[in-house]
């Protein structure tokens, strides 16, 4: 419960007296045990539920594959998202093709589900110059590296959609750590003022690299910050894909109805390292924490139990699915590894619409004419 005291005789009125920040206070529809504890509002059909599960399995396998590829030296540093599948898959599945998606370096599950090719994502992590291209007719932005900076872009694209009467939302993914940056504040404030159809989707995975949220802010939640801008905010179970999807749909509807932005805090956890260059054992009780989340709140597990109970899923389907996604991932990897390598000259392209004289000249400095060139063939 949230309460503020407001009296005339003590001057301080905005002190918060109590706030329930326990897991049980999160908006939840599907419990960790796979039971329906909330209302589906007649919106979630079986086909979608099965697709949710399939997508989560796909991206989890993709993630694990990527870690392996990095270990084998076939990819650069990689940022895994295992544990956050419900948040990313559920939110991305709520989108429609014309929406604008602003991922961070950890949101390729969302990008893939929205239509990014896995081969492209591999290329990105292989350091390829063409790793950030969006599929045509979709607006999947390059993964954003400088923390929180994409949040204001998602205000801008949404604002343009609104001005152009296009019925699209923009969604900015960001982390708990990102909520400390000034850009977080400026983005939410702008979105509030211009009532842009922007969804600020925070995956609060509890850590910004090594920093737990308790050290990131004295505030207990991120959702409560929506009140600072008089925009709606919500704190949900980010491992419950139904809650994520339903919340997104509601936020999207509000956005498209001209009622402006929403801040969603999806409480979740990354099971593994911040990136493959990180060692989580240095800063947290990695084993027990990770095990606790895996065992007690895993997003895939609870949906599988639910689907099985509904008679919508079984061992055979699971085996088939696993085979299928592995095949898809392998095919994507073949595509990525057989994709023409970036050439040194590529760096001189697309700096400007028309290359400057510097680029033209420097390109020739790089690509030296063959020493043989004077010798007639």
Partner 1 sequence: MKRKLTMIQAITEAMDQKLADDSRIMLLGEDIGVNGGVFRATEDLIHKYGPDRVVDTPLAEAGIIGSAIGLAMNGKIPVVEIQFLAFIYPGFEQIVSHAARMRYRTRGQYHVPMVIRTPYGAGIRGPELHSESVETFFAHVPGLKVVAPSTPYDAKGLLIAAMEDPDPIIFLEPTKLYRAFKQEVPEEMYRVPIGKAKVVQEGSDISIFAWGAMLRVAEDAAKQIERENGLSCEVIDLRTLYPLDRDTIIASVKKTGRAVVVHEAHKTAGLGAEIISIINDEALIYMKAPVKRITGFDVPVPQFSIEDDYLPTAERVKDGIMETATF
Ligand X SMILES: Cc1ncc(C[n+]2csc(CCOP(=O)(O)OP(=O)(O)O)c2C)c(N)n1
Which of a copy of itself, Mg ion, partner 1, none sits in contact with 205, Cβ below 5 to 8 A by type? Mg ion
The answer to whether residues 280 and 274 touch, using CB atoms and an 8 Å cutoff, is: yes
The answer to whether residues 66 and 80 touch, using CB atoms and an 8 Å cutoff, is: yes
- The 10 Å Cβ neighbour count of residue 164 is 8
Is there a catalytic annotation at residue 294?
Answer: no
Does 175 contact Mg ion by CB under 5 A?
A: yes
Does 205 contact Mg ion by CB under 5 A?
A: yes
Q: Closest by alpha carbon to 194, among 235, 154, 227, 234?
A: 154
User: Which residue from 28, 48, 61, 189 is in contact with partner 1, where contact means CB under 8 A?
Assistant: 189
User: Which residue from 169, 171, 208, 231 is in contact with a copy of itself, where contact means CB under 8 A?
Assistant: 231
Does 353 contact partner 1 by CB under 8 A?
A: yes
Measured from the CB of residue 178, what is the shortest distance to ligand X in angstroms?
A: 4
Q: How far apart are CA 272 and CA 106, in angstroms?
A: 12
Does 283 contact partner 1 by CB under 8 A?
A: yes
Does 228 contact partner 1 by CB under 8 A?
A: no
Binding to Mg ion by CB under 5 A, coded x per residue (else -) over 64-103, reads ----------------------------------------
The answer to whether residues 48 and 309 touch, using CB atoms and an 8 Å cutoff, is: no
Is there a catalytic annotation at residue 128?
Answer: no
Q: How far apart are CA 181 and CA 169, in angstroms?
A: 23
Q: How far apart are CA 257 and CA 111, in angstroms?
A: 25
Looking at beta carbons only, is 124 or 313 nearer to partner 1? 124
Looking at beta carbons only, is 226 or 276 nearer to a copy of itself? 226
Q: Give the chain's end-to-end CA distance (angstroms, integer).
A: 84
Q: Closest by alpha carbon to 270, among 290, 284, 247, 248?
A: 290
Paired sense of beta strands 233-237 and 3-4, if any: unpaired
Measured from the CB of residue 332, what is the shortest distance to partner 1 in angstroms?
A: 18
Binding to a copy of itself by CB under 8 A, coded x per residue (else -) over 235-274, reads xx------x--xx--xx--------x-xx-----------
Q: Closest by alpha carbon to 66, among 268, 276, 322?
A: 276
Is there a catalytic annotation at residue 185?
Answer: no
- Tell me which residues touch a copy of itself (CB under 8 A): 1-2, 4, 6, 8-9, 11-16, 27, 38-39, 180-186, 189, 192-193, 195, 215-220, 223-236, 243, 246-247, 250-251, 260, 262-263
């Amino acid at each position: 419960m949230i309460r503020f005291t407001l009296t005339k005789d003590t001057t301080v009125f905005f002190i918060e007296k109590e706030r329930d920040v326990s897991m049980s206070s999160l908006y939840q529809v599907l419990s960790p045990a796979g039971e329906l504890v909330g209302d589906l509002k007649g919106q979630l059909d079986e086909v979608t539920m099965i697709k949710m599960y399939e997508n989560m399995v796909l991206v989890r396998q993709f993630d694990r594959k990527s870690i392996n590829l990095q270990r084998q030296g076939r990819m650069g540093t990689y940022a895994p998202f295992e544990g956050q599948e419900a948040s990313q898959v559920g939110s991305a599945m709520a989108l429609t093709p014309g929406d604008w998606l602003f991922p961070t370096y950890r949101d390729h599950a969302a990008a893939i589900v929205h239509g990014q090719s896995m081969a492209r994502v591999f290329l990105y992590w292989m350091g390829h110059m063409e790793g950030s291209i969006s599929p045509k007719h979709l607006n999947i932005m390059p993964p954003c590296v400088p923390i929180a900076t994409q949040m204001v872009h998602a205000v801008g694209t949404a604002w343009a959609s609104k001005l152009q009467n296009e019925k699209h939302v923009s969604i900015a993914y960001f982390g708990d750590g990102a909520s400390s940056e000034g850009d977080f504040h400026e983005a939410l404030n702008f979105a509030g003022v211009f009532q842009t159809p922007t969804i600020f989707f925070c995956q609060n995975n509890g850590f910004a690299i090594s920093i737990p949220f308790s050290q990131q802010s004295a505030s207990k939640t991120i959702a409560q910050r929506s009140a600072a801008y008089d925009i709606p905010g919500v704190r949900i179970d980010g491992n419950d894909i139904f809650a994520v999807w339903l919340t997104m749909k509601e936020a999207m509807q509000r956005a498209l109805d001209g009622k402006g932005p929403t801040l969603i805090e999806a409480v979740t956890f990354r099971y593994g390292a911040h990136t493959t260059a990180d060692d989580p054992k240095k800063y947290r009780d990695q084993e027990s924490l990770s095990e606790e989340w895996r065992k007690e709140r895993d997003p895939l597990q609870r949906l599988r139990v639910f689907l099985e109970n509904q008679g919508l899923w079984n061992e055979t389907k699971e085996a088939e699915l696993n085979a299928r996604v592995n095949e898809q991932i392998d095919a994507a990897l073949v595509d990525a590894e057989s994709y023409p390598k970036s050439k040194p000259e590529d760096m001189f392209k697309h700096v400007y619409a028309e290359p400057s004289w510097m680029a033209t000249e420097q390109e020739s400095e790089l690509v030296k004419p063959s020493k043989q060139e004077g010798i007639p063939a």
